């Protein structure tokens, strides 16, 4: 097998493949990229960790069709440092791969390409998959506003992904790590899903990487076990975990006793300052809601105390509750309206953060017992 | 400045407070059985050579007229809580060493309480008034271990201050055994090289001394030179509370073992409730007739003080123990990773907890009531029937050991 390919296009494909590939090494071949050169003048780069799989087709000057597989980390490392121009890739005996660019030559040890697993069929095989076109930026926005509260605790499998619901007109994403929950809904002429699907964290981040490279629309389709995302010359498939997301609507407070309107920037900046002085591990900051003002106090016995006051329009009962500053900061970070609304029940009840005159977004943050 | 505050003959003093007719009489608190041990001796009893940790039989022989009382831990805990409340008023940095002694870091408190000696007198008065007449002794110095030695100098009801700069002078004439970590063995070895008092030790060069006594030597050398960099540590993790029984008749089979665990979990839970603590890690200890001891532990999702939760965790742990053809002579249930209820570090609450199990504050309340009843009327008053008759206090069949390492 032999082909010649543009360095920057090759690099873009390898960059994506590199994040998908599994470097932890339970199956060594999963740390590889599969390169298949076709007679029609294209090279397909594939990578998978068995949960998330990606193929990207790049045009190239194919001299001899064929395929090979080689560790993506080092291939990417080499290609990244090459100067722009053409790169020649050639398969040698015993799975060796030779790379030539200008006057440089590299030989990398590959593996039998037959070891590389077969990837999910993006056409759906017999039961043909129907792709629905959705605006890339909308999907990207959904992920951007909810990804940060996905749980990384592997013991809570059903929280290790973002819940995606779509009725064909509106799309919703919800994530929670048990301490806070984020929900965002927007108009999305997406595929009609009978029930919500949980897109695992890694798959979600890969989708976002793909979307970053696309302007316009991407195709979405649901297979038996996979969600497929098709964009330009890329196809991403994400295997869905067969777990059930908690009935999240039940934990979004339906009522509140107090609410306050605040400038988003003021609050965000105060919280960032408070976080500096808060205990590192818990990031606890004490919020006191008083008529006319919101007080933020962080107290780190090893460091000192920070006390801040923000003028607010509030004349209800006083309330003091402790929060992990990080949780509030992360919610505010993805709100882009000037004003935000905080809704409280009691000091041990969740606080709801919403944009004022903004999209259908909300963050629910559980307080700390202080 | 660091205060070391030590209550005087604590258990005995509490008993005297409860029953003023005991005042001025020799009082021994401890088990009165064949294997009983003295937990506390009033100063009147100490005159006769009675002291804590002595076998009760020995103490009674030395002082036949002594009044022997069984310990009532709930009372002492209650009094201890009052005492520590006073400590907390004087310093934000209180390191409890046990139920009746603590270090207080009084640095920077002069503006509030005046000079150390004045503050200490105020604190002693405060303890006396708050507890209804209990006395304590205070040691004051810049160095932790010196404060501890000092508090014992003028017991009971005393105050000893080692002024800044006079630490070496103070330590010099003290018997070497007063230093932390010098037991009878070390004392003997030190005597061989002519070290009787702390000052003697200073005649040696550090290297010479370390060569003779190793790492331990370096430690002693530092202490003898009044070097103890340890700070007063408030956040010191409480170790744990456990209850174990050595059975006079071996126990076998899941059902019998579970009954024992239920009884033990109940006792541990009671102690947690009384101390207003929650435990996060549950431990199981089990020893078979070949003296093979196994222990298992697991961490709960939420810290608890409930007997049922501790029991269930212990049963789960028991499942991983091979019970086939084995008989057991000891089981024990304990909890570690203790934290105060409300006073512990800030705890992130779980948003989904209400989904996973319905909110039941009732469980906490129930545990509190059960504990209170048993505290007042004894363990036989209310006990899970499944724990069996042996669970009842006084029922023979086991030698119990309860540990509260939560100083």
Going by pLDDT thresholds of 50, 70 and 90, the confidence category of residue B394 is very low
Residue B98 covered by a domain = no
Residues of chain A with CATH 3.10.150.10: 2-115, 132-248, 253-365
Residue B188 covered by a domain = yes
At A154 the pLDDT is 82
Is 80 exceeded by the pLDDT of residue A275? yes
Superfamily of domain covering A253-365: DNA Polymerase III, subunit A, domain 2 (3.10.150.10)
At B379 the pLDDT is 63
Is 60 exceeded by the pLDDT of residue A5? yes
Task: Tell me the average pLDDT across A240-245.
Answer: 89
Q: What is the pTM of this model?
A: 0.61
Task: Tell me the average pLDDT across B338-343.
Answer: 70
What is the rounded distance in angstroms from the CA atom of residue A350 to the CA atom of residue A183?
A: 14
User: Which domain, by its residues, includes B205?
Assistant: 168-224
Question: Higher pLDDT residue, B201 or A29?
Answer: A29
At B405 the pLDDT is 63
Task: Tell me the average pLDDT across A306-315.
Answer: 91
| Token pair 């050991």: residue | B401
At A276 the pLDDT is 93
Task: Tell me the average pLDDT across A181-187.
Answer: 97
At B276 the pLDDT is 81
Q: Report how many helices (DSSP H) and strands (DSSP E) chain A contains, helices first.
A: 6, 26
Helices B184-192 and B206-224 pack at an angle, to 10 degrees, of 130
At B200 the pLDDT is 87
Residue contact B355–A282, C-beta within 8 A? no
Residue contact A367–B349, C-beta within 8 A? yes
Q: What is the mean pLDDT of chain A?
A: 93
Going by pLDDT thresholds of 50, 70 and 90, the confidence category of residue B391 is low
Residues B219 and B243 grouped into a single domain: no
What is the rounded distance in angstroms from the CA atom of residue B187 to the CA atom of residue B273?
A: 42
At B362 the pLDDT is 66
Residue contact A251–B349, C-beta within 8 A? no
At A140 the pLDDT is 95
Is 60 exceeded by the pLDDT of residue A180? yes
Nearest neighbour of A364 by CB, restricted to B346, B348, B351: B351
Task: Tell me the average pLDDT across B143-150.
Answer: 92
Is 60 exceeded by the pLDDT of residue B384? yes
Nearest neighbour of B350 by CB, restricted to A179, A250, A364: A179
Residues B278 and B379 grouped into a single domain: yes
Residues B345 and B204 grouped into a single domain: no
Task: Tell me the average pLDDT across B228-238.
Answer: 69
Residue B151 covered by a domain = no
**Using CA of residue B170, residue B171, residue B177, residue B180, what is the dihedral sign?**
positive
DSSP per-residue string spanning A96-131: EEEEEETTEEEEEEEE-GGGSPPPP-TT-TTSPPPP
Helices B254-275 and B307-319 pack at an angle, to 10 degrees, of 140
Question: Pick from B197, B224, B251: which residue ends a domain?
Answer: B224
- Choose from A247, A254, A366 for mutation: most chain B CBs within 10 A: A366
Residue contact B349–A246, C-beta within 8 A? no
Residue B1 covered by a domain = no
> What is the CATH T-level fold of the domain A132-248, as seen in this structure?
DNA Polymerase III; Chain A, domain 2 (3.10.150)
What does the angle CA B33 – CA B37 – CA B39 come to, to the nearest 5 degrees?
A: 125
| Token pair 């068995």: residue | A50
Interface check for B349 against chain A (CB to CB < 8 A): the answer is: yes
Interface check for A289 against chain B (CB to CB < 8 A): the answer is: no
Interface check for B355 against chain A (CB to CB < 8 A): the answer is: yes
Q: Which helix (H) or strand (E) holds B17?
A: helix B10-18
At A337 the pLDDT is 96
Is 80 exceeded by the pLDDT of residue B217? yes
Residues B325 and B377 grouped into a single domain: yes
Residues B290 and B263 grouped into a single domain: yes
Task: Tell me the average pLDDT across A127-141.
Answer: 92
Residues B293 and B196 grouped into a single domain: no
CATH of the domain at B201: 1.10.150.20
Going by pLDDT thresholds of 50, 70 and 90, the confidence category of residue B393 is very low
Residues B258 and B341 grouped into a single domain: yes
Residue B120 covered by a domain = no
Of all residues in chain A, the one with the smallest CA distance to B301 is: A155
What is the rounded distance in angstroms from the CA atom of residue B115 to the CA atom of residue B109?
A: 8
- Choose from B300, B352, B353 for mutation: most chain A CBs within 10 A: B352
Take residue A150 and report the two structure tokens written for it. 């996905």
Going by pLDDT thresholds of 50, 70 and 90, the confidence category of residue B367 is confident
Residue B389 covered by a domain = yes
Q: Is B101 a catalytic residue?
A: yes
* d(CA B109, nearest CA chain A) in Å: 16
At A322 the pLDDT is 95
Residues of chain B found within 8 Å of residue A324, distances taken between Cβ atoms:
348
Question: Higher pLDDT residue, B66 or B386?
Answer: B66
The interface residues of chain A toward chain B in range 158-197, judged by CB-CB distance below 8 A, are 176, 178-181
Tell me if ipTM is over 0.90: no
Task: Tell me the average pLDDT across B384-395.
Answer: 59
> Quick one: A232 exposed, middle or buried, by C-beta within 10 A (0-12, 13-18, 19+)?
middle
pLDDT in tens, A46-104: 999 999 999 999 999 999 999 999 999 999 999 999 999 999 999 999 999 999 999 99
Q: Enumerate long-range contacts of A95-102, CB under 8 Å, 24 or more apart.
A: A95/A68, A95/A69, A95/A70, A97/A68, A97/A70, A99/A75, A101/A7
Superfamily of domain covering A2-115: DNA Polymerase III, subunit A, domain 2 (3.10.150.10)
At B407 the pLDDT is 40
Residues B386 and B267 grouped into a single domain: yes
Residue contact B351–A322, C-beta within 8 A? no
At B240 the pLDDT is 83
Active-site residue (options: B101, B161, B167, B244): B101
Take residue B360 and report the two structure tokens written for it. 């039941």
Q: How many CB pairs under 8 A join A and B?
A: 45
Is 60 exceeded by the pLDDT of residue B56? yes
Task: Tell me the average pLDDT across A220-244.
Answer: 92
- Structural domains in chain B (count): 3
What is the rounded distance in angstroms from the CA atom of residue A217 to the CA atom of residue A209?
A: 14
CATH of the domain at B64: 3.40.1170.60
* d(CA A43, nearest CA chain B) in Å: 48
Is 90 exceeded by the pLDDT of residue B395? no
Residues B294 and B180 grouped into a single domain: no
What is the rounded distance in angstroms from the CA atom of residue A191 to the CA atom of residue A205?
A: 20
Q: Which helix (H) or strand (E) holds B400?
A: strand B398-404
Is 70 exceeded by the pLDDT of residue B48? yes
Peptide bond just before B82 cis, omega within 30 deg: no
Task: Tell me the average pLDDT across A179-184.
Answer: 97
Is 70 exceeded by the pLDDT of residue B77? yes
* d(CA A262, nearest CA chain B) in Å: 24
What percent of chain A has pLDDT above 90? 82
Interface check for B342 against chain A (CB to CB < 8 A): the answer is: yes
Residues B191 and B285 grouped into a single domain: no
Residues B191 and B281 grouped into a single domain: no
Residue B386 covered by a domain = yes
Residues of chain B found within 8 Å of residue A176, distances taken between Cβ atoms:
351-352
Is 90 exceeded by the pLDDT of residue B249? no
Residues B381 and B291 grouped into a single domain: yes
Residues of chain A found within 8 Å of residue B346, distances taken between Cβ atoms:
279, 282, 284, 322, 368-370
Interface check for B348 against chain A (CB to CB < 8 A): the answer is: yes
Which of A287-291, B68-72, B350-354: highest mean pLDDT? A287-291
């Amino acid at each position: 097998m032999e082909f010649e390919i543009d360095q920057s296009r090759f690099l873009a494909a390898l960059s994506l493949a590199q994040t998908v590939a599994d470097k932890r090494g339970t199956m060594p071949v999963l740390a590889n990229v599969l390169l298949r050169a076709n007679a029609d003048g294209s090279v397909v780069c594939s990578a998978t960790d068995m949960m998330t799989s990606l193929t990207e087709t790049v045009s190239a000057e194919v001299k001899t069709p064929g395929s090979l597989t080689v560790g993506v980390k080092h291939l990417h490392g080499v290609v990244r440092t090459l100067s722009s121009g053409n790169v020649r890739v050639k398969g040698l005996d015993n799975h060796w791969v030779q790379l030539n660019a200008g006057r440089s030559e590299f030989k990398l040890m590959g593996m039998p390409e037959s070891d590389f697993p077969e990837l999910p069929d993006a056409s759906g095989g017999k039961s043909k998959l129907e792709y629905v076109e959705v605006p890339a930026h909308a999907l990207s926005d959904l992920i951007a506003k909810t990804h940060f509260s996905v749980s990384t605790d592997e013991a809570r499998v059903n929280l290790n992904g973002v819940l995606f619901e779509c009725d064909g007109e509106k799309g919703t994403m919800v994530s929670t790590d048990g301490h806070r929950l984020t929900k965002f809904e927007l108009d999305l002429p997406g595929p009609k899903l009978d029930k919500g699907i949980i897109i695992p964290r890694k798959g979600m981040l890969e989708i976002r990487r793909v979307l970053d490279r696309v302007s316009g629309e991407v195709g979405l389709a649901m297979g038996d076990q996979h969600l497929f995302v098709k964009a330009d010359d890329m196809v991403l498939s994400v295997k869905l975990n067969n777990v059930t997301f908690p009935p999240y609507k039940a934990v979004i407070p339906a009522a509140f006793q107090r609410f306050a309107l605040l400038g988003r920037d003021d609050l965000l900046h105060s919280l960032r300052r408070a976080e500096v002085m808060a205990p590192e591990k818990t990031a606890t900051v004490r919020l006191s809601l008083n008529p006319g003002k919101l007080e933020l106090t962080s107290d780190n016995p090893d460091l000192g105390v920070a006390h801040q006051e923000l003028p607010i329009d509030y004349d209800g009962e006083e309330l003091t509750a402790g929060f992990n500053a990080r949780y509030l900061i992360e919610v505010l970070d993805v709100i882009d309206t000037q004003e935000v609304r905080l809704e409280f029940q009691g000091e041990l009840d969740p606080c709801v953060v919403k944009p004022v005159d903004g999209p259908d977004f909300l963050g629910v943050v559980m307080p700390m017992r202080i | 400045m660091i205060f070391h505050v030590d209550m005087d003959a604590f258990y005995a003093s509490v008993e005297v407070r409860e029953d003023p007719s005991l005042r001025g009489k020799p009082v021994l608190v401890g088990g009165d059985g064949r294997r009983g041990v003295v937990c506390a001796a009033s100063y009147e009893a100490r005159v006769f050579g009675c002291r804590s940790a002595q076998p009760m039989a020995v103490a009674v022989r030395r002082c036949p007229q002594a009044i022997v009382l069984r310990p009532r831990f709930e009372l002492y805990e209650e009094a201890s809580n009052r005492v520590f409340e006073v400590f907390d008023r004087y310093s934000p940095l209180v390191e409890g060493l046990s139920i009746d002694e603590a270090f207080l870091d009084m640095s920077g408190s002069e503006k509030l309480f005046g000079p150390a000696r004045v503050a200490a007198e105020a604190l002693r008065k405060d303890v006396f008034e708050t507890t209804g007449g209990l006395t304590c002794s205070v040691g004051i110095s810049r160095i932790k271990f010196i404060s501890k030695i000092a508090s014992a100098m003028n017991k009971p009801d005393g105050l000893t201050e080692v002024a800044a700069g006079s630490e070496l002078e103070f330590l010099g004439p003290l018997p070497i055994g007063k230093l932390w970590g010098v037991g009878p063995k070390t004392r003997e070895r030190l005597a061989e090289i002519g070290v009787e008092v702390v000052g003697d030790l200073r005649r040696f060069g550090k290297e010479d001394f370390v060569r003779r006594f190793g790492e331990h030597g370096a430690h002693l050398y530092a202490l003898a030179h009044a070097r103890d960099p340890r700070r007063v540590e408030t956040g010191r993790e409480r170790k744990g509370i456990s209850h174990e029984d050595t059975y006079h008749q071996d126990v076998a089979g899941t059902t019998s073992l579970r009954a024992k665990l239920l009884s033990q979990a109940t006792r541990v839970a009671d102690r947690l409730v009384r101390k207003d603590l929650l435990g996060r890690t549950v431990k199981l200890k089990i020893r078979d007739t070949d003296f093979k001891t196994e222990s298992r532990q697991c961490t709960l999702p939420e810290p608890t003080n409930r007997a049922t939760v501790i029991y269930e965790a212990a049963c789960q742990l028991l499942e991983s123990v091979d019970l086939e053809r084995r008989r057991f002579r000891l089981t024990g249930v304990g909890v570690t990773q203790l934290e105060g209820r409300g006073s512990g570090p800030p705890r992130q609450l779980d948003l989904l907890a209400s989904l996973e199990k319905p909110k039941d504050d009732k469980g906490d309340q129930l545990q509190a009531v059960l504990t209170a009843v048993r505290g007042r009327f004894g363990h036989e008053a209310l006990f899970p029937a499944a724990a069996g008759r042996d669970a009842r206090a006084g029922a023979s069949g086991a030698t119990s050991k309860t540990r509260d390492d939560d100083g």
